[in-house]
Amino acid sequence: MRATFLAKLAVLILAAIALIYGISIVIGKDAVGPRIIERPETVASAMPAVVLAIPETTPTAAPISATEIPPSVSTPSSAQEKKLEAYQVDVKNSVQLLEEGNATQARTEMSVAIDKAIGDGVSAAQVDVLRNMLMRIEYCKAGPEGMLAWLSTPEAALADTQLCGAVSIDRSRMKIEALLAMGKLQESWDESKIMLACFSKPGPAQMKEALALEQAIRIAGMAGANDQIPDLETRLRATVEAGIALKTLQDPQLPLATLGTLAKMRGDCASAIKLYNQALEGFDINKWLREKRVAPWRLQVLALVAMDRVDCLRQTGQIERAKGSSSVLAADLATALGEQDPLAEQAADQRDQMLYAPMSP
């Protein structure tokens, strides 16, 4: 009797387990089914037109919070992401081609990227960033004459019509560099004075002030307007110090180099060396080469700064450091510019003067 009872109990337990397992499977299937049907990302990827059908009256400048987006619409859609990636790929290809020295193909790739960005509804500010990159490529491709010709084309028209906008300031600086390269000093000086007037009131263009002041000091020196340099230098030093403290200073090499040159002209080589060190910080042969490909005029400025730094080291009695720096500089410039380039030859002459100078008694 006992054995029969235990057998029946075992059968009942197994039956109960089987019943519970079957019920759990049914419940699981019912739970999975609605989730597959209701996934918003599946609907969005199958019908990207849902995102594109937003009325044009929606204000584009107003940010949309996550709570305002209907759960049935994914943002951004996969189609938008692919478009975004498409023009960014062209931009990266353009930069790579420029660094490889192929400015013609770089220009073509950047033009394609701009067309795609406009077609994809990218903001006007972002399109202007791409146009600025295209402008620099044009400078490398066709020289200063090509730069000025490009600036007069409809393709170079500003979306930001403000004379003192950050974009227009950037283009004014490049225009001035082109004018200087062509020897048009008066035109560049007049353009620079107009640009400097834009910094009287705080605004988005302030981040470009240090570069504009550095440029103005160089032009004032060439134009013989030495009486205006002290005020420009004071403004530049304050702007650079604020930019370094706030980490907003763009492209610090040229402003720091200019401050160093002004200190050297006053005979303060100790201060000049510190400023030159900051300007040249991290510049190895690969960066020298990149400067040549992307902005040839910058490499020339930095080469002269490096030579002035060697001269300051010598004047302050740091002969061994001056010899080492001079040798490295001459080798790097010979690689970047070529053995026969005037700056490379000047650096080599400076090195020889340092290495083979007669020993003092």
CA–CA distance, 103 with 293 (Å, rounded to integer)? 9
Residue 64 in this model has a pLDDT that exceeds 70: no
Q: Which two tokens stand for residue 350?
A: 């400076």
Mean pLDDT over 71-100 rounds to: 67
CA distances from 257 to 207, 260, 281, 302, 307 (A): 18, 5, 11, 8, 12
Going by the DSSP 8-state scheme, the letter that residue 205 receives in this structure is G
CA–CA distance, 139 with 147 (Å, rounded to integer)? 5
CA distances from 104 to 107, 114, 115, 138, 242 (A): 5, 16, 17, 8, 39
Instruction: Find where tokens 């007037």 sit.
Output: 197
Longest distance between any two alpha carbons in the chain, whole Å: 124
Residue 354 in this model has a pLDDT that exceeds 80: yes
3-class state of residue 38 by DSSP: helix
**Between residues 234 and 157, the one the model is more confident about:** 234
100 in Cβ contact with 293 (< 8 Å) = yes
Going by the DSSP 8-state scheme, the letter that residue 253 receives in this structure is H
CA–CA distance, 248 with 314 (Å, rounded to integer)? 34
Residue 9 in this model has a pLDDT that exceeds 90: no
Residue 278 is inside which H or E element, if any? helix 269-280
Q: Which residues in 262-292 are b (16+ Cβ under 10 Å) and which e?
A: bbbeeeebebbbbbbebbbeebeeeebbbbb
Q: Which two tokens stand for residue 143?
A: 């020289």
Instruction: Find where tokens 């146009």 sit.
Output: 131
Question: What pLDDT was estimated at residue 98?
Answer: 81
Compute the CA torsion angle 172, 178, 184, 188 (nearest 10 deg).
20
Mean pLDDT over 9-24 rounds to: 50
Residue 216 pLDDT class (50, 70, 90 cuts): very high
Of 24-33, 60-69, 93-102, 224-233, give the lowest mean pLDDT range. Answer: 60-69
Going by the DSSP 8-state scheme, the letter that residue 44 receives in this structure is H
Task: Express each pLDDT in 333-351 by its tens digit.
Answer: 999 888 899 999 999 999 9
CA–CA distance, 49 with 246 (Å, rounded to integer)? 44
Of 78-82, 83-87, 121-125, give the lowest mean pLDDT range. Answer: 78-82
CA distances from 13 to 5, 24, 173 (A): 12, 17, 87
CA–CA distance, 110 with 131 (Å, rounded to integer)? 8
Give residues with Cβ within 8 angstroms of 321, minimum separation 6: 313
CA–CA distance, 326 with 244 (Å, rounded to integer)? 28
Going by the DSSP 8-state scheme, the letter that residue 208 receives in this structure is G
**pTM of the predicted model, to two decimals?**
0.64
